[in-house]
Structure 1
Amino acid sequence: MNNGRDRKKILPLLPLRGLLVFPYMVLHFDVGRDKSIGALEHSMVENQLILLATQKDAKIDFPAPKDIYKTGTVAKIKQLLKLPGDTIRVLVEGINRAQIIRYIETEPFFKVEVVEIEESGEMEKDSEIEALMRTVVSQFEEYIKLSKKISPEIMISINAIDEPGRLADIIASHLSLKTDVKQEILEAITPKTRLTKLYEIITREIEILEIERKINLRVRKQMEKTQKEYYLREQLKAIQKELGEKDEKTAEVDEYRQRIAELKLPEYVEEKALKEVERLEKMPPAVAESAVIRTYLDWILSLPWTNETQDRLDINIAEKILNEDHYALEKVKERILEYLAIRQLVKKMKGPILCLVGPPGVGKTSLAKSVARALERKFVRISLGGVRDEAEIRGHRRTYVGALPGRIIQAMKQAGSKNPVFLLDEIDKMSADFRGDPASALLEVLDPEQNNSFSDHYIELPFDLSKVMFITTANALYNIPRPLLDRMETIYISGYTEEEKVKIAQKYLIPKQLKEHGLKRENLIISEGTVRNIIRYYTREAGVRNLEREIAAICRKSARKLLKEKGEQIKVTTRNLNKFLGIPRYRYGEVEKGNEVGVATGMAWTEIGGDILAIEVSVMAGKGKLTLTGKLGDVMQESAYAGLSYIRSISDRLNIDEKFYEQNDIHIHVPEGAIPKDGPSAGITMATALASALTGTPVNKNVAMTGEITLRGRVLPVGGIKEKVLAAHRAGIKTIILPKQNKKDLEEIPINIKKKLNFVLVDNMEQVLEKALVKEKEDGD
């Protein structure tokens, strides 16, 4: 209900930005826009009345009628003051509300027709309005107490107001509200509506102020507590300094805090470390757990969370270093140089995980050291041989007495950088028991997708292993669990040829041993022929470990001889070699004795490289019993039975009595009975030896063979070809029979060895017998 009288007027309009004027309100503001100044000047000439209406958006410099609220306040201009810069400061007093009916002019200033809404001062107040007035005044008083931005004296003038509309306007003018909220109150025509809306607004503002007060109180308390602690701590320091003493515990805690600040640890590590320091600070020194916390802090602060070495990415230098340290091993060197090339192109790259597989003594461990030297990275090594406890990898939880991190974290501390070359030696020698499976614990370490947040049970913080270059070594793959093997890139390192061993001995082993035994090059001369004889008659291995031992033995004996006889030089030749090393341990080229019946030379693969084995077959009168000796495994025994069945199936072609099986006992023996032997590779060798023994035809002494046999006489491919061929070459074999499907493996054999051997590729047993058995009137050469 409108208790006022409506009157139409034509007035100049002054748009306000971010400001709103209520009736009965007196305030001053600055005016700078041309249109606004024009409206003021017109008003001063006329009756000093002007309409003040607020812009909807304060950012608009040149508002149109649609940008200005339709309800405003008719005000009287009390004072004008010109300021420098074409600005006018104006003092106005609000009179009453008015609504814009239409815009009469927009240039040079806004002139509008308005209808004034004048409230009657004699309106009767009912009990509801009286209650509203009291409630609003009470709420406003509460607002003043919480806000502390309004002077409490205001309440004296507020309490003196009897008119509900005027009360609402005066209170609204003192509230810190947004312009659009104030506009809602201005547009509320009736006093009752205005008071109701004002009550809602003040109630909401009081709630917000209460929350602000609680937040401020909480922050102040925290600040006071921190300041108090700091003040007391500083006082304690000052007292201790005056007394000339310092509390050991305080000094220790301060040292930890200083170290944490200096190390620039990741945020989550720093937070954990500081929490542990606080625990240590509150704990009495005599408590046993304080020692556990100290140890834990020492471990955390000694780990390379951010330390990183700069890689040397020069491929030429790396290639030179790898060639200096190692002879041959081309595949491994090529893989390392590929990695370096990619690192030059891609700055951020996950470290590769290489698995070097090969016999002992071929240089797997020393190759990893060379990689570290080429990259200029730190090098760490842990041996996994015999590890059977998962805690060795992941560490023990701190609840255990004497708990420590696992070997991975220990090695990272030793490295001092987060990107070392990390060698996991003998990964195939791990085993599992009731304490867990360490191979499963390594799955996270060696997974490029997971190891950026490796979790150790002791540290309990994720540690980034993604920049580590892991290199693992193994003698054989079959002992490595498949999920673990799947995470690694396998590189096979086969045994060395005789030529390679000679070069390695001359270039690396002899100079190394001379240095270790205090000898000079002129003190001891070992000829190339002597080195070859050591390789042939005193060692039988894929690597060079035993060769180095024999050279060390020569150096020891030479050193003693030089001191005893006071000589200056010793020459070791092929003639006097036995004086230094004793009688030869092996026979080189032992297959050259002659062609024999029932004896065939096979080739075998072992963890220490390739070897040759003679398979002997003896036929005796009996009742068809087959005896197998020489500690043969199940697969090898099955190969023997398959070979015998095949020979029986072609007995007519071999001119053997069909009933030989019923009238004879057959004994198959593989010498060196103490050594377990297994695998299908000896299938065709057993069949050849059986055919030779049953037909009485000798086997060619210069032929060695490998391949799996089927009941139909097919020859199937086998593995370890390179190692087997090298072993045959060492033994003086001239002709090698291989399955046709193994032709691709010949590419791995060095060219100089290939030239000295005759390879016969077969796909059935008849071809094997054709080549291996010596026909009548042939000498087998």
Structure 2
Amino acid sequence: MVKEIDEIEIGQELPLLVLRGLVVFPHMVMPLLVGRDKSIEALEEAMVEDRLILLAAQKDETIEEPELDEIYDIGTVAQVKQLVKLPDGTIKILVEGIKRAKISEYIQEEPYFKVGLEQVEGEEEKDQELEALMRSLISQFEEYVKLNKKLPPETMMTVVNVEDPGRLVDIMVSHMSLKVTQEQEILKAISYKERLEELYKLLNKEIEVLKAEEKISSRVRSQVEKRQKEYYLKEQLKAIKKELGDDNDISNEIDEYREKIEETELPEEVEEKALKEVDRLDKMPPMANEGVVIRNYLDCILDLPWNDKSEDRLVLDEAEDILERDHYGLEDVKDRILEYLAVRKLTSEMKSPILCLVGPPGVGKTSLGKSIAEAIGREFVRLSLGGVKDEAEIRGHRRTYVGSRPGRIINAIRDAGTNNPLFLLDEVDKISSDFRGDPASALLEVLDPEQNDEFADHYLELPFDLSDVIFVTTANVSHTIPRPLLDRMEVIRIPGYTEEEKVKIAERHLLSKQIENHGLDEEQINVSTNAIKSVIRNYTREAGVRNLERKLANICRKVAKEVVKGKETLSRVTVQNVDKYLGIEKFSYGEANEKPQVGVATGLAWTKTGGDILKIEVSVVPGKGKLLLTGKLGDVMKESAQAALSYARSKVKEFNLEEEFHEKYDIHVHVPKGAIPKDGPSAGITIAMAIISALSKEKVNEKIAMTGEITLRGRVLPVGGIKSKVLAAHRAGVEKIILCEENKKNLEDVPKNIKKDLEFKLVEHMDEVIATALLKEE
């Protein structure tokens, strides 16, 4: 006769089976897999007796062989119902829990745990509070079963008719998925009320978790259903298009755009805008015209270097070597660049200055920008602004226009591949404006370091940060640059090269470059220094070296022709035969007069191509007191002539002039080379000197040149371009130069070897000029 589970007599001593990660409750039937040696020994001992064994959990399930203090002291007495030995040596058993029991002592530890027991089952009588707790617990458990999809609804049938509170708790726990520590808390609760309350708390927590899981699951399910629906509809659309013969499927293209946007680390605002445009493209018919516009827009966004920067190479010695290697002279410009690099090395917070290189054509402004970029280690971008009239060239066209595109600023940034290149804005003085807007005003936002961190291109409609870009601008003259634009720039003037500097540049850079470009070597051509000087003086007239390079290229072409024909193995170019390669001389610099003359004075002038001497002739002829001016003089020189004549009239007695000469004679002032426009405030004292010489019939010293403006009272005013004028005077054979006293500081720019060959007379009044230059007859 099989005994009921509650009728089994439990002895005072039982073998112990330690469970790992598991708690068995009374009335729970559970299969176990036994593999540890001590556990197998304990199981065999139980099978010999009455199949009873104590099941207790270990505190840390990762421990292979737990010590006594690592085993919970409350466990469950169970009966082994079935036992099967497996081929790998483990034993599979089926046990049924009978009663709680507490380990009172450990009788033995080897070869298995044997313990003394103390029964701890609760025996209190049912009352109203206990009944209320049971009903609340059953209600909670019913909600738990409804929410837990893993439990079948029939689970409630196992607890509805249970009247024993202890058994009710044990059965409910057997259906729940709890942690070992939570189950152990319920197992060690002796009082029925304590068990019911503990389980009630756990059920509340589990129900909250299940509700949260259900909410998340419902949300995910709705999203999945939406995606499945979209996928299904898209597949249907594909099938319909295929049936209609429309094979222009853009789904792959849409996916590629989304992947690129995810892979490219775009700013949040840019990424949001790009994804929005992709969604618009996805909803459009494949052949829609606007689709092309959106594709171009997306390609533009993805091609821009939003986060790609080039690191500055701030090594002053290397930068100085690069600047010296590429350019001869230009010391002021080089010093300013090195100062900028030094400040960048000390602090990265300083806003980048906008350097404006102002100088005549061919002095190396553009190539200087390239050298700066190489010295700093940044990409170089050049943008020519000459003739730009449309504001959209800078800011871009809005996408509503046909053929819209980004502005040239954004395009250049895209081509550079980094968002902090060195940007050379060439010919900034040649910007103009018309009905399409003012590009100079648009450039204000580009160049202003306080605004350009959010430069708004009309095509992009997104802010782009230009604050790390180094802007360098170039111009031939500064007075045509719009004033607001000029105000944001630091102007560095490059006046042009002296003859000696041009010779050095030709020998160091230009000649070797042209020899290489024309396939020659140093053994096939030899150009003397004097020949280079002859080319500079007689075949070019410029402040820079662009035409000089062209003339050297002409020589190299002629030599290449001779080499191919096999006529000469080494071509020597000298002063005597330079005309053989370049033809007749095209220019002749002015030379000082060979002898003193009446009414002829030598002035000094500055032009865009450098300095030159200016011979001013004055002739006094019978007439009615008219002042005749010829030689294509500008307004400034005409006014200088009027001032000079008024000064001469005020000095009639001092210079023994005829008192009424201004009524009896016409004074004709002529500046030779009449086809060439001449203007500027440099010829005042020269014209006055020529007029006084012509009226007094006294000669002017032919070895003296002069420059300066004159007032009505004879005061001499300072002028500019002193360096170029002095070089021209030296080249023309002048021995003495008359300058305004205030121009003394400008003589520091003149090379020392030139200054030592000349004598300088610094004056403050026209009387001193006359006393110095006029040769009075004894």
TM-score for the superposition, normalised by structure 1: 0.69
Indicate conservation of the 8 Å contact 1:476/1:607, yes or no. no
Between the aligned partners of 2:232 and 2:303, the Cα distance in structure 1 is 29
CA-CA distance at 1:478 after TM superposition? 0.9
Q: Which residue of 2 aligns with 1:182?
A: none
Query: Which position in structure 2 is the counterpart of 1:594?
Result: 595
Give the corresponding residue for 1:508: 509
SS of 2:738's equivalent?
strand
Separation in 1, partners of 2:598, 2:224: 97
CA deviation string 1:726-751 (max 9, x = no partner): 33334333322222122222222233
Cα distance in 1, alignment partners of residues 638 and 383 from structure 2:
39
- Deviation sequence 1:475-512 (CA, Å, 0-9, x none): 11111111111100111112211211111111101100
Partner of 2:64: none
The amino acid across from 2:406 in the alignment is P
What's the offset of the Cα at 1:289?
0.9
* Residue 573 (str. 1) matches residue 571 (str. 2): no
Percentage of pairs with the same residue: 61
CA offsets per residue over residues 735-781 of structure 1, 9 Å max, x none? 2222212222222223333223322221111112222223337xxxx
| 1:569-619 residue CA offsets vs partner (Å, 9 max, x unmatched) | 111111111111122223346224332222222223333333332222111
Structure 2: distance between partners of 1:593 and 1:768: 21
Q: Which residue of 2 aligns with 1:675?
A: 676
> After superposition, what is the alpha-carbon deviation per residue over 1:316-360, rounded to whole angstroms, capped at 9, x for unaligned?
011111111111111111111111111111134322210011111
Give deviations 1:273-315, integer Å, cap 9, x for gaps.
Answer: 1111111111112111111111111111111211111111111
Aligned to 2:657: 656
CA–CA separation in structure 2 for the residues paired with 1:746 and 1:708:
18
Aligned equivalents of 1:482, 1:564: Cα separation in 2 = 58
Distance 1:219 1:596 in 2: 110
Aligned to 2:333: 332
Question: Is the Cα–Cα contact under 8 Å of residues 536 and 730 in structure 1 kept in the other structure?
Answer: no
Q: Distance in 2 between matches of 1:469 and 1:643?
A: 49
> Offset of 1:402 from its aligned partner?
0.4
Quick one: structure 1 residues 235 and 760, their matched pair in 2 at CA, closer, same or farther if it must change by over 3 Å? same
2:226 to 203, 225, 228: 228
SS at match of 1:296: helix
**Which residue number in structure 2 is paired with residue 723 of structure 1?**
724
User: 3-state SS of the aligned residue for 1:291?
Assistant: helix
Aligned-partner Cα distance in 2 for 1:580–1:610: 27
Residue identity opposite 2:411 in structure 1 = Q
Residue matched to 1:550: 551
Q: How does 1:603-752 map onto structure 2 within 5 Å?
A: 603-752=604-753
CA contact (8 A) 1:355 1:488 kept: yes
Displacement of 1:227:
6.1
Q: CA RMSD in A?
A: 3.4
Which structure 2 residues correspond to residues 366-381 of structure 1 after superposition, within 5 A? Answer: 366-381=367-382
**Is residue 438 of structure 1 aligned with residue 439 of structure 2?**
yes
SS where residue 680 of structure 1 aligns? Answer: coil
Give the CA deviation at 1:217: 9.9
Instruction: Give the drift of 1:238.
Output: 13
Q: 1:368-407, aligned counterparts within 5 Å? A: 368-407=369-408
Question: Following the alignment from structure 1 to structure 2, what is the Cα–Cα distance between the partners of residues 451 and 738?
Answer: 47
Bigger shift: residues 741-750 or 489-498: 741-750
Amino acid at match of 2:457: D
SS in 1 for 2:754: helix
Q: 1:565 offset after TM fit, Å? A: 3.2
Q: Which residue of 2 aligns with 1:98?
A: none
Q: What is the CA–CA distance in structure 2 between the aligned matches of 1:710 and 1:222, rounded to whole Å?
A: 92
Q: Compute the displacement of 1:396 (Å).
A: 1.4
SS at match of 1:586: coil
Distance (whole Å) between structure 2 residues aligned to residue 705 and residue 432 of structure 1: 41
Secondary structure at 1:667 match in 2? strand
Does residue 457 in structure 1 map to residue 458 in structure 2?
yes
Aligned pair in 2 of structure 1 residues 378, 230: CA closer, same or farther (>3 Å)? Answer: farther
Cα distance change, pair 240–291 in 1 and its aligned pair in 2 (3 A): closer
> Using the alignment, how far apart are the partners of 1:361 and 1:648 within structure 2?
45
Equivalence for 1:118 = none
Deviation at 1:240, TM superposition (A): 8.4
Cα distance change of structure 1 residues 726 and 306 upon mapping to structure 2, 3 Å threshold: farther
The residue number in structure 1 matching 2:518 is 517
> Structure 2 matches for 1:267-278, cutoff 5 A?
267-278=268-279
Equivalent residue number for residue 280 of structure 2? 279
The residue aligned with 2:208 is: none
Q: Which residue of 2 aligns with 1:531?
A: 532
Evaluate the alpha carbon distance shift between residue 617 and residue 236 of structure 1 in structure 2; reply closer, same or farther with a 3 A threshold: same
Note if contact 1:498-1:730 (Cα within 8 Å) is conserved in structure 2: no
Equivalent pair of 2:592/2:703 in contact (CA under 8 Å): yes
How far does the alpha carbon of each residue in 1:90-112 deviate from its partner, in whole angstroms, 9 at most, with x for none? x9xxxxxxxxxxxxxxxxxxxxx
Change over 3 Å in CA distance of 1:218–1:459 after alignment to 2: farther
**Structure 2 CA distance, aligned partners of 1:761 and 1:475?**
31
* 1:583 matched residue in structure 2: 584
Q: Secondary structure at the match of 1:737?
A: strand
Q: Secondary structure at the match of 1:423?
A: strand
Structure 1 unaligned runs (5+)? 1-81, 83-90, 92-143, 149-212
Q: Displacement, 1:239? A: 12
Q: Equivalents in 2 of 1:580, 1:728: separation in Å?
A: 29
Pairwise mapping of residues 252-267 of structure 1 onto structure 2 (< 5 A)? 252-267=253-268
Residue-by-residue CA offset, 1:407-462 (whole Å, 9 max, x unaligned): 11111111111111111111111112222221111111111111111111111111
Structure-2 residue corresponding to 1:468: 469
Evaluate the alpha carbon distance shift between residue 394 and residue 725 of structure 1 in structure 2; reply closer, same or farther with a 3 A threshold. farther
Q: Which amino acid in the other structure matches residue 602 of structure 2?
A: T
Instruction: State the AA in 2 paired with 1:439.
Output: A
Amino acid at match of 2:530: G
Q: Partners in 2 of 1:471 and 1:729 — Cα distance?
A: 35
Aligned to 2:42: none
Show the counterpart of 2:293.
Answer: 292
Whether the 8 Å CA contact 2:258–2:275 is kept in 1: the answer is yes
The alpha carbon displacement at 1:542 in A equals: 1.4
Name 1:414's counterpart in structure 2. Answer: 415
Change beyond 3 A, Cα 1:661–1:606:
same
1:12 corresponds to? none
- C-alpha separation between the residues in 2 aligned to 1:234 and 1:764? 98
- Determine the C-alpha separation between the residues in 1 that align with 2:218 and 2:334: 65
State the Cα distance separating 1:701 from its structure 2 match. 2.4
1:588–1:732: 8 Å Cα contact kept in structure 2?
A: no
**Contact preservation (8 Å) 1:453, 1:465:** yes
How many Å separate the matches in 2 of 1:730 and 1:577? Answer: 20
By how many angstroms is 1:246 displaced?
9.3
How far apart, in 1, do the equivalents of 2:759 and 2:225 lie? 90
* 1:248 Cα deviation from its structure 2 partner: 3.7
Alignment coverage as a number of residue pairs: 576
Letter in 2 for 1:326: H
**Which residue of structure 2 lines up, in the alignment, with residue 56 of structure 1?**
none
1:313-352 aligned at under 5 Å gives the runs 313-352=314-353
Deviations 1:655-689 (A, max 9, x none): 11111111100111222333333222221121111
* More deviation, 316-325/557-566: 557-566
In structure 2, the gaps of 5 or more residues are 1-101, 103-123, 125-142, 148-210
Q: Structure 2 CA distance, aligned partners of 1:693 and 1:454?
A: 65
Q: TM-score, normalized by length of structure 2? A: 0.69
Aligned to 1:96: none
